[in-house]
Amino acid sequence: MNLQTSLLLGAALLSSSVWAQTPTPTPNPEFDSCLNALRAPARAAGVRDDTFAQHTQNLAPDMSVIDKLNFQPEFRTAIWDYLAGLVDEERVAEGRAMLTRHAETLARVSEKYGVDPATVVAVWGVESNFGQTFGKSPLVQSLGTLSCFGRRQAYFRTEFYATLRILQAGHIAPERLVGSWAGAFGHTQFMPSTFERLAVDFDGDGKADLMDSTSDALASTANFLAKAGWQSGQPWGFEVKMPEGFSTTGEGRRTKRGMGEWAARGLQRVDGSPLPASGSAGLMTPAGAQGPAFLVLRNFDAIYSYNAAESYGLAIAHLSDRLRGGGPFATPWPTDDPGLSRAERREVQTLLIARGHDIGAVDGMLGDKSRVAIRAEQTRLGQEDSGRAGQKLLKALRGG
């Protein structure tokens, strides 16, 4: 290759990577001067000047991530809606297929890290729908923007420097490093700093590649849980029945009591079998005393640390049980209008379109456009116009 060809190729590569990072390249002097000011602290954080220059040259901010940072949800998603979408028959079936397809890798991962295949696959299913949903924001751009605008800039700067170090180390190609608007990426949806602490190279190619190596991703998830205190061979917990009039005041995930104490207070497993003879657990009642109740052990805390939300932990814990052949919770959620699976959400969207609403593509995600249409239909049907789709709305829409 002569010099001129290589320069031309270089220019072509540079422009394509710039275009990939800047869908709307508007000059932004404030962003440029901010990035300039980040050079020195980035250097102090181990980012070489050439790395910094290579990845930030001609970078434009993506201000849509600031809108997402500031977004306040209109209403809180009820736990039964949250779980109905995350742990549905579709995900259970796909998860079981993944357990079979990756059985050999999962067995080696389990051997090395002590975390069972169903738990690892359940995290994978909830985090990225088994590698099918990674997010589309180029990390350098989204984290660069969050480092310079909006709340929590100090936090995002740490993640921005970690992103640049990951690129510098060559684990993932720059054009492959895309993720959620807030910087979680890959099969495991690790933040860049989590990647640096816990991602592992399990397939032995010298790179921890959470974008394109399923082996690396499954092992990294298991490594995360192991480092978070996973106890091999122990369950996350289980659903329990509370005796009539049982007081849940002051109880919770973190209030661990011995199994003997729980048994003495009348708690039983829902299948009627006795509580384990030893160990300690907290009592979680995510929808109050009238809904399902769970005794959660140390391993639930390990799952919880993945995303610091009890509803999230319960989704993974429950999915892992379903993958092992378990059924739905024994106690119904305290609602007369249960949530919808993703298949049912797609059906709602199809029915909304059939009624003439413009809601975009049928994707099972009930976004803003779907909610507007849902409100209109609820008004027409004489239902409360909450914008929430549950079984009642689905039934009514099926009826015309």
- In this complex, which beta carbon is closest to Ca ion, that of residue 95 or of residue 192? 192
User: With binding defined as CB under 5 A, does residue 170 bind Ca ion?
Assistant: no
Query: Cα(255)–Cα(234) distance, rounded to whole angstroms?
Result: 19
Q: Do residues 274 and 205 lie in contact, with contact meaning Cβ atoms separated by under 8 Å?
A: no
Residues in contact with Ca ion, total (CB under 5 A)? Answer: 7
Among 56-64, 211-219, 342-350, 384-392, the segment contacting Ca ion (CB under 5 A):
211-219
- In this complex, which beta carbon is closest to Ca ion, that of residue 207 or of residue 256? 207
User: With binding defined as CB under 5 A, does residue 213 bind Ca ion?
Assistant: yes
User: With binding defined as CB under 5 A, does residue 201 bind Ca ion?
Assistant: yes
User: With binding defined as CB under 5 A, does residue 223 bind Ca ion?
Assistant: no
Q: Which of 157, 140, 179 is nearest to 60 (CA)?
A: 140
Q: Which of 284, 375, 269, 328 is nearest to 89 (CA)?
A: 328
Ranges within 300-339 binding Ca ion (CB under 5 A): none
CB of 186 to Ca ion, least distance (A): 12
CB of 209 to Ca ion, least distance (A): 5
DSSP string, 163-185: HHHHHHHTSS-GGG-EE-TTS-B
Query: Cα(104)–Cα(81) distance, rounded to whole angstroms?
Result: 34
Q: Do residues 220 and 200 lie in contact, with contact meaning Cβ atoms separated by under 8 Å?
A: yes
H or E stretch including 172?
none
Among 212-220, 265-273, 305-313, 369-377, the segment contacting Ca ion (CB under 5 A):
212-220
- In this complex, which beta carbon is closest to Ca ion, that of residue 56 or of residue 215? 215
Query: Cα(149)–Cα(61) distance, rounded to whole angstroms?
Result: 9
Query: Cα(98)–Cα(341) distance, rounded to whole angstroms?
Result: 20
Rg (CA), the chain: 24
- In this complex, which beta carbon is closest to Ca ion, that of residue 201 or of residue 385? 201
- In this complex, which beta carbon is closest to Ca ion, that of residue 205 or of residue 384? 205
User: With binding defined as CB under 5 A, does residue 212 bind Ca ion?
Assistant: no
CB of 223 to Ca ion, least distance (A): 13
CB of 205 to Ca ion, least distance (A): 4
- In this complex, which beta carbon is closest to Ca ion, that of residue 127 or of residue 209? 209
- In this complex, which beta carbon is closest to Ca ion, that of residue 137 or of residue 215? 215
- In this complex, which beta carbon is closest to Ca ion, that of residue 168 or of residue 234? 168
Residue 287 — φ and ψ, nearest 5°?
-120, 25
- In this complex, which beta carbon is closest to Ca ion, that of residue 223 or of residue 378? 223
CB of 200 to Ca ion, least distance (A): 8
CB of 259 to Ca ion, least distance (A): 41
CB of 342 to Ca ion, least distance (A): 31
Answer for which of 203, 362, 372, 387 binds Ca ion (CB under 5 A) is: 203
Q: Which two tokens stand for residue 168?
A: 């510098």
Answer for which of 81, 88, 216, 251 binds Ca ion (CB under 5 A) is: 216
Q: What is the DSSP letter of 206?
A: S
Q: Closest residue (Cβ) to Ca ion?
A: 201
Q: Which two tokens stand for residue 36?
A: 């300039």
Among 131-139, 197-205, 239-247, 382-390, the segment contacting Ca ion (CB under 5 A):
197-205
Contacts of 112 (CB under 8 A, 6+ apart): 219, 222
Residue 294 — φ and ψ, nearest 5°?
-135, 135
Report the amino acid identity of residue 321: D
- In this complex, which beta carbon is closest to Ca ion, that of residue 159 or of residue 216? 216
Q: Which two tokens stand for residue 377?
A: 């239909």
Q: Do residues 83 and 339 lie in contact, with contact meaning Cβ atoms separated by under 8 Å?
A: yes
CB of 217 to Ca ion, least distance (A): 9
Would you give the distance in Å from CA 179 to the centre of its chain?
11
CB of 221 to Ca ion, least distance (A): 14
Bridge-partner residues for 284, per DSSP? 294
Answer for which of 89, 175, 205, 271 binds Ca ion (CB under 5 A) is: 205
Would you give the distance in Å from CA 362 to the centre of its chain?
21
Binding region for Ca ion (CB under 5 A): 201, 203, 205, 207, 209, 213, 216
